[in-house]
Amino acid sequence: MFLSDLSIKRPVFATMMMVALVVLGVMSYRRLAIDEYPDITYPVIIAQTTYPGASPEVIVREVSKPIEEALNTVPGLKEVTSSSQEGVSIVRLMFHLSADVVGAQQDVQAKVSRIRRQLPPNIEDPVVIR
């Protein structure tokens, strides 16, 4: 009952305390740091391979599938998707947010280099992009 007694006995003081509380709340709200576009780096690595003149079916069979199978064991991997078009294979690796993407990129590059001999000889060197 302290607050009600104070408001009845000293209404001006109680009103001023409420106004001060509202003003401090508004000032604090304005100082909140809100980032409209926070810096988010998505843990995605792309392995792109060019095979000039090859059909999408050949790309899938001879390039995309071997690369997918080799990269399936990279630690922290969440999802593997690939897109095969005429002359181009794109394998997209999505990692968990807690994964070390820099280390994973090195692992991906090493695994792609290891299976390079299994890929057709006239493809261009695979490019790994983070």
Domain that holds residue 22: 2-31
User: Could you give the number of structural domains in the chain?
Assistant: 2
Instruction: Verify that 50 and 23 share a domain, yes or no.
Output: no
Tell whether pTM > 0.95.
Answer: no
Instruction: Verify that 85 and 123 share a domain, yes or no.
Output: yes
DSSP of the chain: -HHHHHHHH-HHHHHHHHHHHHHHHHHHHHH----SS------EEEEEEE-TT--HHHHIIIIIHHHHHHHTT-TTEEEEEEEEETTEEEEEEEE-TTS-HHHHHHHHHHHHHHHGGGS-TTSPPPEEE-
- Encode pLDDT of 76-124 as tens digits: 889 999 999 998 999 999 998 888 888 889 998 999 999 988 888 888 8
- Encode pLDDT of 6-20 as tens digits: 888 888 988 999 999
